[in-house]
Amino acid sequence: MSVLPWPYRLLALAVLSVALVGFGWIKGASHVQARWDAAVQQQALRVAAIRERQAQTTVKVVTEYVDRVRIVREKGDTIIKEVPVYVPVQADAACTINRGFVRLHDAAAADELPEAAGDADAAAADIALSAVAGTVAANYRTCHENAEQLIALQAWARKMAIAGKQ
């Protein structure tokens, strides 16, 4: 039986060492990849659960908001219908609305500064007091609708933050 010369033995040992290191590297990489894939899967499940909670929260908040705005509109419509009761024809006849009031009101509604008042602003505007009352009531109704929208948006933002932390 012949014994391999020492350079071949070293070469065989080096090849065996490289093969063992390569095998370990591949096995280690597959183990790390499996752990990585499991972590990604776990995170995807968490994200899906958070999105589901947030979707349920959104539906709940929107439903509450729609109901509250409907109530605000109904109240506002009722108030507007009552204008003739509270501002009768006699009050319309007794009170003149001047053009200056109309310009000031319209500027305020547009969030603009009114132009300087002039002599023409003192004249009657041919607008009845009941029309002014109806416009003011409609403006307040819109204001209350906007308030409900803001309240709902704030509630939604708070609940989204809570749903994201769970």
Of 3 and 67, the structure prediction assigns the larger pLDDT to 67
Provide Rg for the chain, Cα atoms: 39
| Region 68-97 average pLDDT | 93
CB 147 within 8 A of CB 73: no
Q: What are phi and psi of 43, to 5 degrees?
A: -65, -40
Distance CA 34, CA 41 (A): 11
Cβ proximity of 76 and 138 under 8 Å: yes
Both tokens of 163, joined, read: 């749903």
The label of the residue with tokens 């509250």 reads 68
Contacts (Cβ under 8 Å, ≥6 apart) of 42: none
Q: How confident is the model at residue 1 (pLDDT cuts 50, 70, 90)?
A: low
Tell me the per-residue pLDDT of 127-152, one tens digit each, with 9 for 90 and over: 999 999 999 999 999 999 999 999 99
pLDDT attached to residue 15: 86
